[in-house]
Structure 1
Amino acid sequence: MQAKHSNPPDGGYGWVVVVSAFMVMGLTAAVLKTFGLFFVEIQQHFDELASTTSWITSVTIAIFHLGAPAASSLCVRYTHRAVVITGGLLAFSGMALGFLGLSMVWMYATTGFLQGLGIAFSWTPAVSIVSHYFSKKRALANAIASAGECAFAFTFGPLFQWLISQYGWKGALLIIGGIQLNICVCGVLMRPLASSCLLEASHSETETPPGNGATRMDKEEKSPITQKTFNWMLVRRPEFILYAIFGILAAMSFFVPPLFLVLLSYSLGIDESWTASLLSILAMVDFAGRLLCGWYANLHITKTVHLLTMTITLISTSLMLLPLANNYLSLAIFTGFYGFFFGTTVAVHITVLADVVGMPDFDSALGLFMLIRSTGGFMGPPLAGLIVDVAGDYRAGFYMAGATLVLSAGFLVTLDQFQQRKEKGSQTNTKQEKSTLPYPSLHLMKLQ
């Protein structure tokens, strides 16, 4: 049994997959982003401390990242469609069972664990299958899909507030769970590129006659899905390790600005209503940055790893300048710069990962990258908080984030240099093989 497509279609039905991934991004990451609106309601209902209540979101984020390798492994073993549908059912179960609100531990297990696992099983394969469907337009497709997070987050804020005011926090959870069932519909639309029976596909590959002139590596490059097992050996590849270290340092920084932006505005004496508008500005410019960067990367003017290095450098610069703001206007301008360049980074970093490891190992690489990157997300906010406590100024957190991003850009430069040396080495070996002639007399004539 053969795959439906020997090469990524780079369009056609692929755009249906992109729209489906756009919806999945909104119904998973955007829900996680705006879940803070339930914080006070849940805290007051159970009469718990803020630190105790915050563990709901912490468990969700942790399971989201820890479940990514499992989701990638299931994508390799079965299909992206099956895993996304499973994720939608898990996400719905987490919200629907959270509706019961039996205890705080119950909330950890439902809206924490089940919701996080549902997000992992939906988000990871949705990102992965877009890269399988596109090659030349991969950056643009990934950018459009990731923009769903921004678009839905902008809408979910007022919607969730209205649901809580009308139906209470429990009723709102149940309705949101029902909305998340649409993830299953999006999963159905994610038609597999290859045969759903991977064992039959691999059997047909092994029966290919050896003299047909096509090597196994050529088939892996042409076939969108060839890896039949999860490849843990990626951790031994230097280029993947360099990119994973970049991911850790970047994650340490990305979670810091949203955490201290509101607090910094309060310390400057900015009114609460104006402070809320900063978050709206952040969402809008983030959305614009993703789409514009995806469009530019699709032109193939700049190498994707070079583009990512530039965006990381610009983010670090904006974070270093942001603490210089002394009023609302200057703070809004620097926040806009940060949000725009953050969007450009999100739009292209998955494409760079695909370029680094190649499509045959992409599913495994995405799961491992998410798992390794999570350590930066866990370490960043506490470290920034410690620095702020020692310095006694919220600006110190932004300086820490900017400096960490500068360090992460260094690993991208090292990765690019490593890849260039590797390419030159392979080209040299190819030339040497071509220069070796089969007959000694011809080789002697070549020397003369």
Structure 2
Amino acid sequence: MQAKDSNPPDGGYGWVVVVSAFMVMGLTVAVLKTFGLFFVEIQQHFDELASTTSWITSVTIAVFHLGAPVASSLCVQYTHRTVVITGGFLAFSGMALGFFGLNIVWMYATTGFLQGLGISFSWTPAISIVSHYFSKKRALANAIASAGECAFAFMFGPFFQWLISQYGWEGSLLIIGGIQLNICVFGGLMRPLASNCLLEASHYETKTPPGNGASRRDKEDKPPIMHKTFNWMLVRRTEFVLYAIFGILAAMSFFVPPLFLVPLSHSLGIDESWTASLLSILAMVDFGGRLLCGWYANLRVTKTIHLLAMTITLISTSLMLLPLANDYLSLAIFTGFYGFFFGTTVAIHITVLADVVGMPEFDSALGLFMLIRSTGGFVGPPLAGKLRQLTAKYSLQEERGMVIQTEKIWICTQTSPFFISGVSEPRSALKQIVKIPLLVLLGGFLQKFKLNSLKH
């Protein structure tokens, strides 16, 4: 007897799970991405500094990452469905309680902490269960699910602005919380698979008395006994540690370029109406990149670990070329390249994690990966600000100086995939690593060329 999870269906009801995960991604991360629209309204209402108000999102992001191991642990104790539904209620509670707007600390606790915990409890099991349902088509399924983040972010921008204009920021939070209750509906559609591996299935079969079919079905519907412990010992596995290092370095820069895209366009004298369209371009090409990369990875022409290294190399290159933009058209083109390759990277990095640790340990690995990666997310924005200060005296436009330096962080993210690949193919990995200093030199040459042209 072969377990269902050792031979995932790769289709059928799995596509219902993918659509459900698509919606969960949109109702969680997309809300977080567009929550900046509330900043000015909340800041004016409480008469607080911008830095004080920004802690709402900081708390949300922190709890989102730190709650991932807890969510993964609950998944192995109970089911993915139960955790997602719990996350939906937490996300709704955070927004609904934020409606009262008692004070800024209240906002930290509600739209910050509760919302972040709800996102963590919804996002983590949703992306995890997709990997359990698919094997051969795992990359495509993960890409489709993650694309919900882009699709909803594209729609939520104008929609949230309309809500604020019609109902104020308090009423808007209550309405958004009501919309997030649909996470519970889509979580309910995430039917758990019967078992996780052939060994466990055989164990249940031998332990079940002959003729007791009902007892056997009951046992198969329960989470496997062997997976009722969160595996913290993954940190001892070299390949996981190397991939976690990649996660830290990538998180240092994942959220940085979009933050400085608008200031960069302003420094080039681009009209505000055109500047806003850059974010729309970024969302659209990100969406396309995820779907296309997922489809290509599904063809299995290239190993996913090699494909990830390739996409990171391309996104690094696009960022090194970005400082050459001097008008709206060139900036839009380079933004398109960056957004597309960002989408391709995000589409497969979870799939690569499953390949690195194997599916029996995937739930634990995902929680640990998110926890470790959070350190990069915390360090990235302050480091970006420091780089901006350091480069301001060299550049005639200090916003451009930040973007020029950003690709150095991205270049660092190339090392871990190559090292992981090197565990089994050391010579091939070494040849790829040699290319990294060449990219750094190219970036330095482009910086010097552009800065000299600005001075003249």
Determine if the TM-score, normalized by the shorter chain, exceeds 0.5: yes
Cα 1:90–1:265 shift into 2, 3 Å: same
Shift >6 Å, 4+ stretches: 200-203
Which whole-Å CA distance do the structure 2 matches of 1:366 and 1:202 have between them? 26
TM-score of the superposition, structure 1-length normalised? 0.87
Cα 1:202–1:105 shift into 2, 3 Å: farther
Whichever residue aligns with residue 122 of structure 1, its letter is S
Q: 2:409 aligns with which of 404, 408, 411?
A: 404
- CA shift, 1:404, in A, is 1.9
Q: Which residue of 2 aligns with 1:246?
A: 246
Which whole-Å CA distance do the structure 2 matches of 1:127 and 1:194 have between them? 18
Which whole-Å CA distance do the structure 2 matches of 1:159 and 1:174 have between them? 14
**Unaligned segments of structure 2, at least 5 residues:** 210-222, 393-397, 428-456
Whichever residue aligns with residue 417 of structure 2, its letter is L
Cα 1:184–1:268 shift into 2, 3 Å: same
1:27 aligns with 2:32: no
**Unaligned segments of structure 1, at least 5 residues:** 210-222, 423-448
The 5-angstrom pairing of residues 325-336 of structure 1 reads 325-336=325-336
Q: Which residue of 1 aligns with 2:292?
A: 292
1:414 aligns with 2:400: no
- CA shift, 1:387, in A, is 1.1
SS in 1 for 2:228: coil
Whichever residue aligns with residue 406 of structure 1, its letter is I
- CA shift, 1:421, in A, is 6.2
Cα 1:4–1:237 shift into 2, 3 Å: closer
Whichever residue aligns with residue 192 of structure 2, its letter is P
Which whole-Å CA distance do the structure 2 matches of 1:399 and 1:206 have between them? 63
The 5-angstrom pairing of residues 276-425 of structure 1 reads 276-392=276-392, 393-420=398-425
Q: Which residue of 2 aligns with 1:159?
A: 159
SS in 2 for 1:300: coil
Which whole-Å CA distance do the structure 2 matches of 1:304 and 1:224 have between them? 29
Q: After alignment, is 298-307 or 407-416 more displaced?
A: 407-416
Cα 1:406–1:203 shift into 2, 3 Å: same
**Paired residues, number:** 406
Structure exhibiting the larger radius of gyration computed from Cα positions:
1
SS in 2 for 1:88: helix
SS in 2 for 1:54: helix
CA distances 1:265-295 after superposition (whole Å, capped 9, x unpaired): 1111111111000000000000000000000
Q: Which residue of 2 aligns with 1:237?
A: 237
Whichever residue aligns with residue 173 of structure 1, its letter is L
Q: Which residue of 1 aligns with 2:83?
A: 83
Percentage of pairs with the same residue: 82
Cα 1:202–1:117 shift into 2, 3 Å: farther
Which whole-Å CA distance do the structure 1 matches of 2:283 and 2:224 have between them? 33
Which whole-Å CA distance do the structure 1 matches of 2:338 and 2:309 have between them? 15
The 5-angstrom pairing of residues 59-208 of structure 1 reads 59-194=59-194, 204=204, 207=207
Which whole-Å CA distance do the structure 2 matches of 1:125 and 1:356 have between them? 19
TM-score of the superposition, structure 2-length normalised? 0.86
Whichever residue aligns with residue 14 of structure 1, its letter is G
Cα 1:353–1:224 shift into 2, 3 Å: farther
Whichever residue aligns with residue 150 of structure 1, its letter is C
Q: Which residue of 2 aligns with 1:269?
A: 269
Q: Which residue of 2 aligns with 1:258?
A: 258
RMSD over aligned Cα atoms? 2.2
SS in 1 for 2:227: coil
- CA shift, 1:420, in A, is 3.4
Residues 2 and 195, structure 1, Cα contact 8 Å, conserved in 2: no
Residues 5 and 132, structure 2, Cα contact 8 Å, conserved in 1: no
Whichever residue aligns with residue 159 of structure 1, its letter is F
Which whole-Å CA distance do the structure 2 matches of 1:7 and 1:225 have between them? 19
CA distances 1:100-130 after superposition (whole Å, capped 9, x unpaired): 1011000000000000000000000000000
Whichever residue aligns with residue 403 of structure 1, its letter is K
Which whole-Å CA distance do the structure 2 matches of 1:194 and 1:350 have between them? 23
Which whole-Å CA distance do the structure 2 matches of 1:205 and 1:333 have between them? 59
Whichever residue aligns with residue 53 of structure 1, its letter is T
Q: Which residue of 1 aligns with 2:433?
A: none
- CA shift, 1:251, in A, is 0.9
Q: Which residue of 1 aligns with 2:11?
A: 11
Which whole-Å CA distance do the structure 1 matches of 2:226 and 2:166 have between them? 50
Which whole-Å CA distance do the structure 2 matches of 1:226 and 1:399 have between them? 50
Residues 225 and 360, structure 1, Cα contact 8 Å, conserved in 2: no
